[in-house]
Amino acid sequence: MKVNVSFDQSDFNKADLKVVAAYTNKNADGIQHTLSSKEIMDEMKALKISKNFIAKEGTQLLFNLSDGSSVLAIGMGKKTTAKAEQIRRSIANAYKAIKGELYNSVAFDMASFNAVNKLDITTALTKEALILTAYDFNKYQAKQNKNSFKAITLFVNDKKVKRSLEKKLVEVQNLAESVCYTRDLVNEAPNILHSEEYAKRIEKDVKANLKGVKVKIMGKPELKKENMNLFLSVNAGSNYGPRLVHLTYTPKKVTKNTKHIAMVGKGLTFDTGGYSLKPGASMMGMKFDMGGSATVYGAFRAAVLNNSPYKITLILGMTDNAVNEKATMPDSVVKGRNGTTVEILNTDAEGRLVLADCLDYACDQGPDYIIDAATLTGACLVALGSEVCAVLGNDQKWIDSIKKSAKDQDEYMWQLPIIDEWRGQMKSHIADLRNIGTKKFAGTATAAAFLENFIKNDVKWAHLDIAGVCDSQSHLPYCPEKGGSGLIVRTLANLLS
Ligand code: BES
Ligand code: MN
Ligand code: ZN
């Protein structure tokens, strides 16, 4: 589906379906909705049902005009309180209401949705919401859902915004398509997207779409040379080689003030738990355990396409966590890249082992800031549900800027603390660290207390646990009902812009 923008009123007038926003602001006749188009409003008033339509958020009214075309009025609530997220959600609901219908042409009246009072932003948000909502992962289904219409027109009644809008539309398309790219990766089956294939796919996408980005891919021999034994210990039982994908983006203009940000992602293409095997029901869905890497890649992709001013290093640690006779046994002691020894008491706490070596490697690339993303702990779901992303780290200013970026993008993020008692829980009797805490609580924070040991050179570090938000649980109308949500890509891409 294409999303076109038109400044020509006749493109709106001739559309089979006109989508307009309606607000609860009362007007003179006591009718509890207001539309910006007087012509449509007049015809709407003549309808008997019109008196009953209170344009609260979440309501919709479909009716016909005398010229034979149709109108879908989308309830938005009070005009004064509408926010960006409300536009995203309303547009998503509008799209869902019409997607299976037979209209030849559909046009949205952007002025009517312009509750944030910035017509260019409203139009860009609409395009973003349409791309995010139209997403479908159906490549393995014989019968594919087809949209009846090929394009949607966004009618903008003010040519003054044309220049600023053009730039915003390109940026939002890069962003939304990158969110969908992340979803595609997360949704792929683990027998297809194993570590070797995953690395190839990223390399192919970089070569095709991200001009100027340097690619380095490391396999088992290179990881051995780098002493990344914690990472390798997770891969020990696997049929597929481990992959460390290292991408570097350098902006066109670099000065001594150019900040260097490294992002690190957990890329477990499947997590059986290893010898500490997960029960069947908990193992289901563990293809999404590469979601952290897919999320930071999506953000990197959008940032590069939108010419980020930062130098960005991306490190993706890819393997599955499988079991065979070579798999790592619980009680093993393994020395990581930074020389720290770890007693691996539970092979299901594998993500932190991969991240540990990747974080140490990332620090050596000389970044000012590091952010990692991982589907790291089930405890994160217990604490924050499937709606809120956890953030922890060693630098409050860095964490605050990430939280602000999440807020700007209407994505939920909440900070959890790392306290000395939890740091203490990660000390081992026979090695420097153990890979699980001594108590069953605070699992998200003890995991972060473990990771903290692999940050060096005073790099400012933040960790995102996306175990809850990565898999869509249908609380957002612009996310798929099931499967990869693509959440947090927007927060990170915004951070890098
Ligand atoms: N990938 C899982 C985390 C996870 C579990 C995400 C459930 C989403 C839903 C991770 O590798 C894991 O297994 N973590 C363990 C850690 C424990 C052994 C300390 C967990 O959360 O149970
Ligand atoms: Mn695990
Ligand atoms: Zn895992």
The whole-number average pLDDT for the span 317-333 is: 98
Q: How many CB atoms lie within 10 A of CB 117?
A: 9
The H or E element containing residue 111 is: helix 110-113
Which residues line ion ligand 2, judged by CB < 5 Å? Answer: 271, 348, 350
Residues with CB under 6 A from ligand 1: 271, 289, 346, 348-351, 375-379, 381, 436, 443, 467
CB-neighbour burial class of residue 474 (10 A; exposed 0-12, middle 13-18, buried 19+): exposed
DSSP letter, residue 279: P
Q: Which token pair is 363? A: 């620090």
Hey, what domains does the chain have and what are their CATH numbers?
Answer: 2-157 (3.40.220.10), 172-495 (3.40.630.10)
Helix axes 119-134, 162-187, angle to 10 degrees: 20
Label the pairing between strands 17-22 and 106-109: parallel
Alpha helices in 255-395 (DSSP H): 280-283, 291-305, 351-363, 378-384
pLDDT score of 253: 95
Is the pTM here over 0.95, yes or no? yes
Helix, coil or strand: residue 21: strand
- Cross-strand pairs, 219: none
Between 139-153, 183-197, 236-250, 416-430, the lowest mean confidence (pLDDT) is in 139-153
The answer to whether 229 and 298 are in contact (CB under 8 A) is no
Of residues 353, 332, 336, 356, the one with CA closest to residue 344: 332
Residue 188: pLDDT over 80? yes
Longest dimension (CA), the chain: 82
Taking the centre of ligand 2 as the mean of its atom positions, its distance from the CA of residue 302, in whole angstroms, is: 29
Residue of 343, 348, 384 with the most ligand 1 atoms within 8 Å of its CB, for mutation: 348
The residue whose CA has the least distance to atom 3 of ligand 1 is 377
Of residues 283, 241, 266, 272, the one with CA closest to residue 357: 266
Q: Which token pair is 215? A: 């690619």
Is residue 207 annotated as part of the catalytic site, yes or no? Answer: no
The answer to whether 443 and 437 are in contact (CB under 8 A) is yes
Phi, psi for residue 447 in degrees, rounded to 5:
-60, -40
pLDDT score of 44: 85
**What pLDDT, in 10s, does the model give residues 44-91?**
888 888 888 888 988 999 999 999 999 999 998 888 777 899 999 999
CB-neighbour burial class of residue 189 (10 A; exposed 0-12, middle 13-18, buried 19+): exposed
Residue 350 CA: nearest ligand 1 atom is 11
**What pLDDT, in 10s, does the model give residues 21-53?**
988 877 656 566 666 677 888 888 888 888 888
pLDDT score of 146: 67
Residue of 186, 231, 377 with the most ligand 1 atoms within 8 Å of its CB, for mutation: 377
pLDDT score of 374: 99
Of residues 243, 115, 128, 222, the one with CA closest to residue 179: 128
Is residue 352 annotated as part of the catalytic site, yes or no? Answer: yes
**What pLDDT, in 10s, does the model give residues 464-480?**
999 999 999 888 999 99
Q: How confident is the model at residue 366 (pLDDT cuts 50, 70, 90)?
A: very high
The answer to whether 265 and 370 are in contact (CB under 8 A) is no
Active-site choice (89, 168, 352, 434): 352
